[in-house]
Chain A
C-alpha cells in the first residue's frame, strides 16, 4: 500500500475513535504545553539575567580586596558610604584595601593592556526637588570608556579632562525622577552639582564620574585606595595564565601567602561561565519536570495504541484477508500513533504559548520574569519533535503486534 493511503487510513482511525484518541491527545497537549511554557520561562530568565548583566566581556579581570576561603572572610569595605566590615563570627580582621602600590605592581605585567581603578558608594542624588539613593562609581576617565562593556545611548563617554561631569544609567535618566534627565542637565549629588554628559543604554540607576571627584563625594575612603581594580588583558586565550601571574605578583608585593591572601581575582569569563552553567542547570531541571508530563502523555499513546490494536483486531484480519501485507498494517498503526503525537504537539504548542503569556503576567515582577517569558522557535521544534517521536516510539510495539497478527486468529476475534 502506498504511504499516502496508509496516511489516509491512519487519519481515518484517529477521526473514528474520537473520544479515546482525543483523550490521549489531551495528555500530549498538557505535556507539550508544559514544556513550551516552562522553557519560555527559562528563556525569559536567561534574557532577563543577560540584559541585567550585559555583555560582560571575556577579557576583563576584576581585583577586589578581601578573600573568602571556607568560613574565613577577610574584611573589605562595604561600599555603602560608611565604614563597614564583612566578617564571619570566627574571624574579624583589619580592613584590606587596594592601593597605588598594587596598580604599580600590575603595570609591570605586560599581558595587561589597561588598568581602571574604581571606588564605589551609595549616594544621595536629587533633581527638581526629588531625591533618592543610587550607586555611584568613580572610574579612571582615561581608561573606563575603553574597558567598560556599557554602551552610550546619548551624549559621550568620560574623557581625561572631565571634572564635574557624570554619566548616568538609562533608568535613572528616564523614569527615576518626575521628569526625564537629558544631556547637559545638572543633578545634585551629595550637595554638589554635576552635569550629565552621557546616558547609558541600560536599565540601571548607576552613576559614573571621574575617580578624583568621587573621592570627594563618597565618605570614608582614602585617596589612592580602591574598591576594585578592573583590568583588560591583551589575550583572552591566555586568561588563566595571566590571572595566575597577576595573583603571584600581587601576593609578593602584598606580602601574603596563599593562606593569608587578602584579595580576590575574578574574571568576567568565569562569571559568564558560571552564569551559563547555572542557567543550563535550571533549564535542564525545568525541562526534566516538563518531560515527565510528556512521558505520561507518551505512555497514554502506547495505552491507546494497545487498546486500538485490540479493538481493531478483526479489522486487521479482514485487511490481511483482502491483501494487506504486514508492513501495511505496521505503517498504518505507526502513522496513527505519530498523528496523535503531531496533533497533540500542535495543540500543545498553542496552549503553551497562551500559558506562557498568562504566566508572565501572573508572576510579573518576580526576579525570574523581569525578562518576561519568551517562546523560542527551538522550544517549539523540540516539543513537536519529541511529541511526534514519542507517539511513534510508543506506537511501535502495538503496531508491530498488529502487523504480526495471524489473519485467521484476527478474523475469529470478537
Chain B
C-alpha cells in the first residue's frame, strides 16, 4: 500500500488518500464502504478505478471529488487537507480544481447547453464576457457549437455527455473526475467520449480519474486501481499507454 506523501514534499502528487475509511450507519449497524484506502495520484496521470458493484467505487469518487468527507483518515487535494476545510471554501476549491462528469450527465434540464457550461463560471464570479467566450469555446471543442442553445432534452445521450465534459472543463480544472462516463451510452458513442477524455489527458495535460466497472475502459488508463469490498486489492501501471 502506498504511504501518505507528506505535504509539500512531493509536488507531483495532486490527490492523496491516507488510510481513508467511510462508514455508513444503517440503524444500529455500521457498514464500512471503504476500509483504510491509501492512494497517491500523480499530476497528469490517467487513473482508472475499477471494481464490481458494491466494491466502494462511487464512495471513493465522492471522497476524491470532495463531495463527501471520510469517517476516518485524511484526503489531501493539492497538498491541502480537505477534511479541515469550511464548506464554502471547499465548494470554491472543488469548483476550481475538479471537473465532474457523471454517468447520467447531471445537466440542469431547464437551461440550454450553453447555460449549463457557463454555470460553473457564474458560481465562480467570472465576468460575463469571459464566461460567454469560454462556454462557446468549450462547446466548440466537444463539437456542439451548433447545438449550444438546445436544452438537454433536445440532445442525445452522447451529446449530453459532451456538454457535461465541456462543463467539467469550464473553470479549467486540473482534475477531471468521471463516474462511468460511458455507462449510459452505446459502445460507439462511449468510445467517442473516452477519446475526448484521452485527448484532454494527452493534449491538455489534465489529470483524469475514471470510475468504471467496464474493464475495457482501463486500456485508456496509465494507472489502474482495483477495488474489492472497500479495499484496493491491486494497483498497476499500464505500460501500453504512453503520454508521449
Contacts and interface: CB of A to CB of B under 8 A. Distances in A.
- Is the A/B pair a real complex? yes
Interface of A: 1-2, 5, 12-13, 15-16, 314-315, 318-328, 406-408, 411
Interface stretch (B40-48, B87-95, B140-148, B190-198): B87-95
Given A12-B110, A318-B108, A321-B100, A328 B67 contact: no
Interface stretch (B7-15, B115-123, B224-232): B115-123
A406 to B, nearest CB: 8
Contacts of A321: 65, 67, 94, 100, 106
A408 B124 CA distance: 20
Interface string B119-142: 110111100000000000000000
B81 interface: no
Contact residues of A: prevailing secondary structure: helix
A324 B94 CA distance: 10
Nearest to B63: A408
A327 B88 contact: yes
B87 A322 contact: no
Contacts of B102: 411
A325 B91 contact: yes
Given A12-B111, A318-B106, A328 B123 contact: yes
Contacts of A2: 122, 125
Given A1-B122, A1-B123, A408-B67, A323 B94 contact: yes
Contacts of A406: 68
Interface of B: 62, 65, 67-68, 87-88, 91-92, 94-96, 100, 102, 106-108, 110-111, 119-120, 122-125, 167, 170-171
Contacts of B62: 408
A325 B125 CA distance: 12
A411 B67 contact: yes
A19 to B, nearest CB: 14
Given A5-B122, A322-B167, A323-B124, A408 B100 contact: no
Nearest to B96: A323
A325 B88 contact: yes
Contacts of A324: 91, 95, 123
A4 to B, nearest CB: 9
Contacts of B120: 322-323
B91 A314 contact: no
B139 to A, nearest CB: 16
